Amino acid sequence: MILLKLQKLNYLLIFLVILISFIGAAGLYSAADGSYAPWASRHLIRLLFLLLLAIIISLINIKLIYKFAYLIFIISLALLFSVEIIGVFGKGATRWINLFGFSLQPSELVKITIILALARFYHDLKFAEIKNILNLIFPFIILFIPFVLVVIQPDLGTALSIVILGAFVLFASGVRLWKFVIGLFLVLGSIPLLLNYLKPYQRDRVISFLNPEEDALGRGYQLMQSKIALGSGGLSGKGFLEGTQSYLQYLPEKQTDFIFTLIGEEFGFIGTIFIIFLFLLLISICFYISIKSNHIFGRLISIGVGTNIFIYVIMNISMVSGLMPVVGIPLPLVSYGGSAMLSIMISIGLVLNIEINANIKKLKNA
């Protein structure tokens, strides 16, 4: 049985994950001035273990994943709530907890469990019942609690990605468009109120986004240096290990949030387009697998995972390009960071599982 499942694995998807991760390792090698330590080596070790985890998840009985979807979500909520009690402060926010000697960011994991919980809910709901506005209460709770807990940390970038992810999954579930229009107007109307609750450094990020040149050596420094690095890469880049913005220490957070900028400087427009193409191919495979699935649970998980990766990519690239404020969103499988990679690998394992079990129609007899 296990050998049969291994034969059904989508090896193109696995290859893309490995390829993108190796590109990330090359970027981290360059970020460390041509050294595997401290980032590239750890990145590759994580890739090895987490890829194995993804394959293990792909072999789990999907009926068990369906059965315990709500419980998994509740556990992730407990981890997210624990940040307020035992969280570790860093980079202006309390987002991490130390678990068994490892640093974990629960807000990354909760995105995947949100997808699981919403997929379970809409799988159990009859299509005719979706239009009933009362059936939006439970999905709203699933999204609202993590959103509030993440905002409190504070981590507005992740909170925003949770809202966008939830909206995509609800839309794919069949929720009527007019409900999203009303929600959009409510969000836009609440922006002036929300601005009053921004932390000083968050206001600085918004101001630097609107006019980074006003304080190019202060709050606009990150964005200005990122733009310079991207622009200096030209068509084909300066060459591997030849990025002057990185080597002269002008580019901040080059191993995490701004690694796309480093790659753009060294490999130019061609290199960045190649990475974007790989991500689009990865996302397309997730959407294709959702079409193949015979059950709503699998369809929504695959759509949710593809959408989540898309949000990561579009927000990170927009952030380092100056198209949106700096919000601290990593580039999946490329940026250095264990929690984001763990979240992505778990979601990839779920998508692989969905394809293996695409022909299953009934999930409730687990």
- Into how many domains does the chain fold? 1
Q: State yes or no: pLDDT of 252 exceeds 50.
A: yes
* Predicted local confidence at residue 62, as pLDDT: 92
Tell me which of 26 and 241 has the higher pLDDT. 26
In this structure, are residues 67 and 297 in contact, taking their beta carbons and an 8 Å threshold? no
Q: Does residue 336 lie in a domain region?
A: yes
| Cα–Cα dist 339/107, whole Å | 9
- At position 109, the amino acid (one-letter code) is L
Q: State yes or no: pLDDT of 215 exceeds 60.
A: no
- At position 37, the amino acid (one-letter code) is A
Q: What is the mean pLDDT of residues 223-252?
A: 78
Residue 247: count other Cβ atoms within 10 Å of its Cβ.
Answer: 17
Q: What is the mean pLDDT of residues 329-338?
A: 90
In this structure, are residues 138 and 130 in contact, taking their beta carbons and an 8 Å threshold? no
Q: Does residue 169 lie in a domain region?
A: yes
Q: Does residue 104 lie in a domain region?
A: yes
The span from the first CA to the last CA of the chain, in angstroms, equals: 18
Nearest alpha-carbon partner for 143 in 169, 115, 122, 166: 166
Task: State how beta strands 88-90 and 93-99 pair.
Answer: antiparallel
Q: Does residue 363 lie in a domain region?
A: no
Q: Does residue 361 lie in a domain region?
A: no
Mean pLDDT of the chain: 85
Residue 86: count other Cβ atoms within 10 Å of its Cβ.
Answer: 11
Lowest pLDDT segment from 125-129, 316-320, 331-335, 339-343: 125-129
Length of the chain: 366
Specify the pTM: 0.91
In this structure, are residues 10 and 289 in contact, taking their beta carbons and an 8 Å threshold? yes
In this structure, are residues 223 and 326 in contact, taking their beta carbons and an 8 Å threshold? yes
pLDDT digits (tens, 9 = 90+) for 53-107: 999 999 999 999 999 999 999 999 999 998 888 777 666 566 778 877 678 889 9
Q: Does residue 189 lie in a domain region?
A: yes
Domain that includes residue 121, residue range: 6-356
Q: Does residue 73 lie in a domain region?
A: yes
Q: Does residue 365 lie in a domain region?
A: no
Q: State yes or no: pLDDT of 193 exceeds 80.
A: no
pLDDT digits (tens, 9 = 90+) for 260-308: 999 998 999 999 999 999 999 999 999 999 999 988 999 999 999 999 9
Quick one: three-class SS letters along the chain?
Answer: CHHHHHHCCCHHHHHHHHHHHHHHHHHHHHHCCCCCCCCHHHHHHHHHHHHHHHHHHHHCCHHHHHHCHHHHHHHHHHHHHHHHHHCEEECCEEEEEEECCEEECHHHHHHHHHHHHHHHHHHHCCHHHCCCHHHHHHHHHHHHHHHHHHHHCCCHHHHHHHHHHHHHHHHHHCCCHHHHHHHHHHHHHHHHHHHCCCCHHHHHHHHHHHCHHHHCCCCCHHHHHHHHHHHHCCCCCCCCCCCHHHHCCCCCCCCCCCHHHHHHHHHHHHHHHHHHHHHHHHHHHHHHHHHHCCCHHHHHHHHHHHHHHHHHHHHHHHHHHCCCCCCCCCCCCCCCCHHHHHHHHHHHHHHHHHHHCCCCCCCCCC
User: Facing residues of 161 across strands?
Assistant: none
* Predicted local confidence at residue 366, as pLDDT: 43
| Cα–Cα dist 37/147, whole Å | 35
Tell me which of 217 and 172 has the higher pLDDT. 172
Q: What is the mean pLDDT of residues 126-155?
A: 86
At 196, the pLDDT band (50, 70, 90 cuts) reads: low
Lowest pLDDT segment from 160-174, 175-189, 271-285: 175-189
Q: What is the mean pLDDT of residues 217-226?
A: 70
* Predicted local confidence at residue 247, as pLDDT: 67
